[in-house]
Amino acid sequence: MGCDGRVSGLFRSNLQPTLTYWSVFFSFGLCIAFLGPTLLDLRCQTHSSLPQISWVFFSQQLCLLLGSALGGVFKRTLAQSLWALFTSSLAISLVFAVIPLCHDVKVLALVMALAGLAMGCIDTVANKQLVRTYQKDSAVFLQALHFFVGFGALLSPLIADPFLSEGDCFPANGTANATSRSHLFHTSRVLGPHHPEALPRFNQSSPSLRPQHGTATRVSYAFWIMGLINLPVPVAVLLLLSKERLLTCCSQRSPLLLSADELALETQPPEKEDAASMPPKLQPKPGHEDLFSCCQRKNFKGVPYSFFAIHITAALVLFMTDGMTGAYSAFVYSYAVAKPLSVGHKVAGYLPSLFWGFITLGRLFSIPISSRVKPATMVFINMVGVVMTFLVLLIFAYNMVFLFVGTASLGLFLSSTFPSMLAYTEDILQYKGCATTVLVTGAGIGEMTLQMLVGSIFQAQGSYSFLVCGVIFGCLAFTFYILLLFFHRMHPGQSSVPTQDKPVGMENSECYQR
């Protein structure tokens, strides 16, 4: 009871920053899911072939990964973090406004690359700021943070759906129609730009792809609506900047533009007494470096091998789990419509929505659960659940009912893996080092790499290999997690952590020792 009261007290004292970070992650989710249902309209708008439009996915995913790695550069101080979040969330609104004006696929890929950079920056900075704020109690708030990703990812297709065309931009004798829209999307994720010959159903390179009057403009309203919905997010970050007195127009105590003396303190490592004399918002935080600073040789001195092993194994777990999430959502439709299941296109179209719906539902359920269950226990349950679900799907590969039940189960078990793993790893490392940056980057690499790998195997070996890959990746994730538990036992205990590194008022807290 005392623990719950203290956590709720922490939440009340950090209400505005927490709500702001959650809203920024809503922007992330809103931007990550709209490409799928609008792909056919964007293809018509840009007069592009399927291999050409596939580069839009690649540019977004690649720059999301780069943004995750580079996001650490902007988070050494609270001021840098908040300005990075403001710029990124505002960029997402601008991207939504500009997309309808992109009539060339190269311009569209460039715009989506900008969106990817903004999303990657949000991913790293918002996760890190919540971990900094709540530390030992961050698990429940991280679960809520990632719930807003799922909520945004569910909302953007719903907004786009009323404005989607029925494939009228194709010639009358074309082979694409409304029922093949989702098949086009998923098959493009399978094949990528390197297998155009495997798509005889679609007009790959027809120069006559021209939208009829009004076709390309209807979907523009969906993007503008999403841009307007997202616009309050940068406003919320701006209000937080004002509250923290980080706007030059609101306070002269902590100006945004540093003086020459303050700039020298930022560029040179200060002595302890100098760092303590700096304004709180301008003090660099210990640990929590960006990915490039983590790799400097000076950070390796006197550090036990278990420290590096924990970073690596935790990143490998998320490499597998986030990769499975991306691959399953991308290819479950193609698996369902292929033989031997041969599910109807309309029925199979519900599978990706079911998967993401239960991911969002699982993250919602995980918010109260994570306040009672340790992150390590939640990750263990998730790993076992993922492996068992894939085994059941493999055993009953010819049963459509088990496919739908298994898809929902997989969404539930994968939903809380990332926030639980992040909370657990930061807890092990006592909020030192580069855990958040390394984990976010590892998850991004996995999501991009495993989709490409599963797509290649899917085309070469057939639909059954889709579930075999899931079992293999699930077993690898579980193995890496067991290794993480082993390295946790080897790592020096909490007694080696200085008292000043613990959250204020928690030195003797029973909740802190859990």
Q: What is the pLDDT of residue 229?
A: 92
Which of 374, 353, 393 has its CA nearest to residue 473? Answer: 393
CATH of residue 332's domain is 1.20.1250.20
- Same domain for 356 and 239: no
**H/E element, 136:** none
Half-sphere exposure of 376 toward its Cβ, with a 13 Å CA cutoff? 13
> Contacts from 493-502 at CB under 8 Å and sequence distance 24+?
494/430, 497/430, 501/286, 501/430, 501/431, 501/432, 502/135, 502/136
Residue 173, classed as helix, strand or coil, is coil
The residue range of the domain holding 498 is: 289-514
DSSP for residue 196: G
- Same domain for 191 and 310: no
Q: What is the pLDDT of residue 318?
A: 94
- Same domain for 356 and 423: yes
- Same domain for 301 and 153: no
Q: Does residue 272 form part of some domain?
A: no
Q: What is the pLDDT of residue 389?
A: 95
Q: Does residue 233 form part of some domain?
A: yes
Task: Give the number of domains in the chain.
Answer: 2
- Same domain for 494 and 432: yes
Q: Does residue 267 form part of some domain?
A: no
Q: Does residue 195 form part of some domain?
A: yes
Q: Does residue 122 form part of some domain?
A: yes
- Same domain for 413 and 454: yes
- Same domain for 256 and 304: no
Cβ–Cβ under 8 Å, residues 129 and 21: yes
- Same domain for 173 and 70: yes
- Same domain for 362 and 257: no
Q: Does residue 282 form part of some domain?
A: no
- Same domain for 227 and 303: no
Q: What is the pLDDT of residue 265?
A: 39
Q: Does residue 110 form part of some domain?
A: yes
Q: Does residue 413 form part of some domain?
A: yes
- Same domain for 302 and 352: yes
- Same domain for 28 and 95: yes
Q: What is the pLDDT along the chain (514 residues), one digit of tens a residue?
A: 456 677 778 888 888 888 898 889 888 888 877 776 677 778 888 888 767 777 787 788 888 888 877 766 655 577 888 888 899 999 999 999 999 999 888 999 999 999 989 988 888 888 888 888 887 777 788 888 888 888 887 788 778 878 877 654 544 444 444 444 444 444 444 433 333 333 333 343 444 444 444 444 578 888 999 999 999 999 999 998 888 877 765 444 444 434 344 334 344 444 444 444 444 444 444 444 555 555 554 555 666 788 888 889 999 999 999 999 888 887 888 888 888 888 887 787 778 778 888 988 998 898 888 888 898 999 999 999 999 999 999 999 888 999 999 999 999 999 989 889 988 888 888 766 677 788 888 888 888 888 888 888 888 888 889 999 999 999 999 999 999 999 988 877 643 333 333 433 333 344 434 3
Burial 96-134 (b: 16+ CB within 10 A, else e): bbbbbebeebeebbebbbbbbbbbbbbbbbbbbbbbbbb
